[in-house]
Amino acid sequence: MIDLPHLSDLQEATINFCNQTIRVLYKTNNCIGWIQHYIPIEKNKPQIISFTVAQRVDPIVFYKLLSLTSSTDSAPTVKVFKDVFYKYQVIGGNGVEIFYEFPILFFIMKEAENQFSVVTPAPNNQDGRLLLRIAREVAYRRCVSTGMTSFHAGAVASQDKGVILLGESGAGKTTLLIGLIKKLGWDFICNDRTIIDLTNTRLYGLPLPIRIGFGTLIGDADLASGCLAMGKLSRGQVPEKEWRSIESSRTHEWGSRKKLELSPKELIDITKGRIIESARITCVIIPRMTQKETLLKITSLNMVEALELITPQCTSPEDPLWPQTWLEHLKPLPYSAKESLIYFTQRIPFYLVEYGIDSSFDEAIDRIEEIVKGLPS
């Protein structure tokens, strides 16, 4: 049995995503500052809380947990993200679950069904990142368990008209998403994982970084200068001198795997846009962008054509980014992903939009605006 002191000395905020309200208890401004890079923070206290994540800066609890993991080389391992692995252990008689990696600098702890925390002996720059990881994992799994369906897709909205941008990597989803925000003033919802709820015909987004290809940066002077003006970015995956000196020819970097990562807040600060949690599903746009000089072509897809294109982008119930459930286990689904996709394609209009990035990109944005305006609210 491990005694956990009551969390009475922490500041409180709430975040909303995936149709869930999450209480965040935090000690340091750095912690909540990281989360604010991905999700707007609310200071009000809602009546209904889905679950709580807390920053426990407590050396006594940390070293007590550490003493319980002194001989756990044989503890099972879970893959929590693409190349991130944690050890897993159940401790004490109250069934507390802990997750950690070597060297042990923190513990992620599931204290109860709706109570999760990060435990460190002193404030840590990783605390906010870890709290967001917890919130994303739990909220995402709960969405899927209730029958919502996830896609490798971005989403934007005009008023409450939500538009899903879906397609393979390199198809131009992010480039089009940024163009719609910049040129039309549409709202940003997400860039990589869109979750649809067919019971209320709404879409939601997971808070993830926006990965922008070097080719897009080269072709968008305003975006590139906005990144340069921000100075040091929150995510440092690409060496700064590398992306600050990219060549002036898009040809060299087009299709390159080199990408600059921005947080949603950084993207919105550059584009002067707005982040929203959700919108009503209005249509799905499947972009096909090419570097060749190409006339714009927009095709309305029937159900069979739409199914063929969206099925490979469905990430429910198994998501390659998060291959193993850990903090929140999936429950039996009310219906299969295939049934959800069929229902989806029968009720929502799908459009294949083919264009050249240099020859018909602006025209594509204008036509998408016309399409969305003509669809019912």
Q: For residue range 296-313, list pLDDT tens digits in order.
A: 999 999 999 999 999 999
Q: What is the pLDDT of residue 250?
A: 46
Least confident of 17-31, 192-206, 245-259, 325-339: 245-259
Residues 136 and 155 in one domain: no
Q: What is the pLDDT of residue 254?
A: 58
Specify if 63 maps to a domain.
yes
Q: Cis before residue 317, ω within 30 degrees of 0?
A: yes
CATH of the domain at 367: 3.90.228.20
Specify if 75 maps to a domain.
yes
Q: What is the pLDDT of residue 7?
A: 81
Residues 196 and 120 in one domain: no
Specify if 218 maps to a domain.
no
- The DSSP output letter for 235 is -
Residues 202 and 125 in one domain: no
Q: Is 60 exceeded by the pLDDT of residue 122?
A: yes
Give the integer Cα–Cα distance in Å for 203 and 148.
Answer: 9
Q: What is the pLDDT of residue 239?
A: 63
Specify if 267 maps to a domain.
yes
Which residue among 87, 118, 140 closes a domain?
A: 140
pLDDT digits (tens, 9 = 90+) for 192-251: 999 999 888 999 999 999 998 887 887 788 888 888 888 788 886 666 666 666 544 444
Number of domains in the chain: 2
Q: Is 60 exceeded by the pLDDT of residue 17?
A: yes
Specify if 130 maps to a domain.
yes
Q: Is 70 exceeded by the pLDDT of residue 164?
A: yes
Q: Name the band, by pLDDT with cuts 50, 70 and 90, for residue 191.
A: very high
Residues 70 and 161 in one domain: no
Least confident of 3-12, 178-187, 233-242, 293-302: 233-242
Give the integer Cα–Cα distance in Å for 331 and 271.
Answer: 39
Give the integer Cα–Cα distance in Å for 339 and 343.
Answer: 6
In the chain, the percentage of residues whose pLDDT exceeds 70 is 93
Specify if 119 maps to a domain.
yes
Residues 58 and 110 in one domain: yes
Specify if 240 maps to a domain.
no
Instruction: Give strand ranges (E) for the chain.
Output: 11-17, 20-26, 51-57, 77-81, 84-91, 96-100, 107-112, 115-120, 149-158, 161-166, 187-190, 193-197, 202-205, 210-213, 259-262, 278-290, 297-301, 350-356
Token pair 């309305």 is found at: 300
pTM attached to this predicted model: 0.92
Q: What is the pLDDT of residue 217?
A: 81
pLDDT digits (tens, 9 = 90+) for 341-375: 999 999 999 999 999 988 899 999 999 999 999 99
In the chain, the percentage of residues whose pLDDT exceeds 90 is 63
Q: Name the band, by pLDDT with cuts 50, 70 and 90, for residue 128.
A: very high
Residues 156 and 69 in one domain: no
Residue 94, classed as helix, strand or coil, is coil
pLDDT digits (tens, 9 = 90+) for 56-100: 999 999 999 998 886 666 789 999 888 889 999 998 777 899 999
Q: Which contacts of 296-300 are long-range, i.e. CB under 8 A and separated by 24 or more positions? A: 296/353, 296/354, 296/355, 296/360, 296/363, 296/364, 296/367, 297/352, 297/353, 297/354, 297/355, 298/351, 298/352, 298/353, 298/354, 298/364, 298/367, 298/371, 299/351, 299/352, 299/354, 300/349, 300/350, 300/351
If you average pLDDT over every residue of the chain, what do you get? 89
Q: What is the pLDDT of residue 330?
A: 82
Q: Which residues contact 105 (CB under 8 A, 6 or more apart)?
A: 120, 124, 126
AA letter at 45 = K
AA letter at 133 = R
Residues 282 and 177 in one domain: yes
| CA of residue 50 relative to chain centroid, distance | 18
Residues 192 and 306 in one domain: yes
Residues 97 and 184 in one domain: no
Q: Name the band, by pLDDT with cuts 50, 70 and 90, for residue 150.
A: very high
Any idea of the CA torsion for 166, 167, 173, 176, to the nearest 10 degrees? -70
Residues 33 and 111 in one domain: yes
Domain of residue 123, residue span: 11-140
Token pair 């401790």 is found at: 91
Residues 59 and 179 in one domain: no
Q: What is the pLDDT of residue 256?
A: 59
Which residue among 140, 165, 187 closes a domain?
A: 140
Q: What is the pLDDT of residue 238?
A: 66
Residues 135 and 158 in one domain: no
Specify if 335 maps to a domain.
yes
